[in-house]
Structure 1
Amino acid sequence: MVRPSLSDVSPGMWRREAGTEVRRVAPSPEQETAPYAITAGLRIPRVPTEWAPHAHALHELVWVRGGTLTSRVEDRVFTVSEGHGLWMPAGVVHGGRATAGARFHEAFFAPDRAPFAFGEPRAIVMTPLLDSLLSHLSRTDLDAAARARAESVVFDVLQPADHLFALQLPGDARIDAIAEALLDDPADNRSLEEWARYLGISDRTVTRAFRHATGLSFAQWRQVLRVHRALTLLAEGLDVTTVSEVLGYAQPSTFIASFRRVMGTTPGAFFDVADTTSGNVRNPVLPVQNS
């Protein structure tokens, strides 16, 4: 599969928060040398942090605690919330953004020493066991035998999730302006007819373009986009009433109903499930689902 160049991918996903730090990642050597099969680490951005489009010569697994991570790969936006990680294959160009204070974990896997390969970005279930093993591998005092044992168990327990919550962007010049405007302001409530008049095209053209590019109607796509944004806002500690207002809903019950249609249950129920899965009481977040 041919990957785009760094200049072809924009990290633009949501309106950039004030104080966001933009970091550029130096290009990796074509043949990056890894000291171990798995190298893990942790960082905690003190401010909202955005990583410009980049690629790694190693496979990467990222996950967060106490926040969310959004990543853009080509015309897809992935939302990574607590309890799940995102596997990024070596060579895939991606940009990302993490909320302030999120505990940002990452692990790199040497392609020539990994007994499996996911060719596309995949959601990974971050079980307590997998999380503990990768934290163990972040130590620098492990001897070779202990590291090898831990790595072998990681390869045994690392499993893709059944679903991956990804928003498909249109990638169609006729309607890209709609997508970009809604990414910038999900509360924009202009109707399909209003958008068609603004763009100087017919309602039917907008409808067909969204269906063809995303598999969803315009209304369904906007609904999924708003749920994506809600994941981050809820993880940051905003209550349901505030989130519904920020996203342009007339009342919280309408937002909750919309969330249920996309995710299969209410925001509160997702928080409860995440608490049980991750054991995190203070920062519950939401599992991912297909869009």
Structure 2
Amino acid sequence: MTKPLISTERVQSSTGPMVIASVLNSPSERTSAPHRHARGQLLGARRGLLTVAAADHHWVVPATHAVWIPPDCVHGLRSHGPFHGWSVYVAAPACVDLPGQPCIIAISGLLREAVDRAATWGEGPMDQRQERIAQLLLDEIAVLPAEPLGLPLPLDPRLRRISQALADDLADNRSLAEWAQWAGLSGRTLARRFVSETGFSFSQWRQRARLLRALELLAADVPVTTIALQLGYDNVSAFIAMFRRALGVTPGRYFIAAS
């Protein structure tokens, strides 16, 4: 369990500023055990992947997206590697028009800039300019559509160990049978339970995890060839083919098509 981004007193209070934002760059991995607080929370990473559990949802989330967690919703997270992330905490009364269930949203440039600005504010009352920026943050959370990019994590502890290890090293190309032996179960059991607990076959789950990581690396302007090698592909053509099948465009055109 790592230190909270803001004090427990502030995150548990619905009084005070309508919006509180915090940014943290840490050289170490960040984890938080399941917990809840009175404020709603929007959280994301500047780079890298986050594993987020909220209510009955379990996701691996890239830095191009963020997770919205309503007030009093049990949640926890883990970063895969050093944590470079941010959070926005919203007073409960201001969450009325925001999503009532945990969800993933794509980060707009406007939202990112507003978070950076809000993170510079002190703890005193907001002035009119700050109130306008805070309202802009709420408007962006409310209108940005929920995205289906989340990756469900299995609940079985053995399958969870495999999925966490894969998220830590997406270039690991061990077969289903090899992973099953590593986790102490049969290949047939692993295949069956992965589908029943995540909705994806083992190979589909690994491909989706790689796709999410690829989106984060593309957003950081990492060359496509470098991304393919980091994700365990033997050649860049195989990676581009996977990406096009999944998202309908090549990696080089993804953000152009999305803009």
TM-score band, normalised by the shorter chain? 0.7 to 0.9
1:46-125 equivalences under 5 Å are 47=27, 49-53=29-33, 54-63=35-44, 67-68=47-48, 70-73=50-53, 76-82=58-64, 84-91=65-72, 92-97=74-79, 104-125=85-106
TM-score (norm 1): 0.68
In 2, distance between residues paired with 1:101 and 1:273?
29
In 2, distance between residues paired with 1:215 and 1:206?
13
The residue type equivalent to 1:45 in the other structure is: N
Aligned length: 249
Of the structure 1 ranges 206-215 and 50-59, higher mean CA displacement relative to structure 2 is found in: 50-59
Aligned to 1:201: 186
In 1, distance between residues paired with 2:24 and 2:161?
34
Aligned to 1:166: 150
1:129-208 equivalences under 5 Å are 129-131=110-112, 133=114, 137=118, 139=121, 145-158=128-141, 159-173=143-157, 175-196=159-180, 199-203=184-188, 205-208=189-192
CA RMSD of aligned residues (A): 3.6
Deviation at 1:56, TM superposition (A): 3.3
The residue type equivalent to 1:23 in the other structure is: T
Deviation at 1:215, TM superposition (A): 0.9
Conserved 8 A contact 1:58-1:90: yes
Identity level (%): 31
Task: Considering fraction of residues, name the structure with more helix.
Answer: 2
Deviation at 1:111, TM superposition (A): 0.5
1:231-242 equivalences under 5 Å are 231-242=215-226
Aligned to 2:8: 28
Q: Judging changes above 3 Å, is the alpha-carbon distance between structure 1 residues 27 and 213 closer, same or farther for their aligned structure 2 residues?
A: farther
Q: Judging changes above 3 Å, is the alpha-carbon distance between structure 1 residues 39 and 114 closer, same or farther for their aligned structure 2 residues?
A: same
Q: Judging changes above 3 Å, is the alpha-carbon distance between structure 1 residues 197 and 153 closer, same or farther for their aligned structure 2 residues?
A: closer
TM-score (norm 2): 0.74
**Secondary structure of the equivalent of 2:37?**
coil
In 2, distance between residues paired with 1:142 and 1:95?
30
> Unaligned 5+ residue runs, structure 1?
1-21, 277-291
Aligned to 1:225: 209
The residue type equivalent to 2:241 in the other structure is: A
Q: Judging changes above 3 Å, is the alpha-carbon distance between structure 1 residues 126 and 224 closer, same or farther for their aligned structure 2 residues?
A: closer
Q: Judging changes above 3 Å, is the alpha-carbon distance between structure 1 residues 132 and 249 closer, same or farther for their aligned structure 2 residues?
A: closer
1:216 matches 2:200: yes
The residue type equivalent to 1:47 in the other structure is: P
1:243 matches 2:224: no
**Secondary structure of the equivalent of 1:168?**
coil
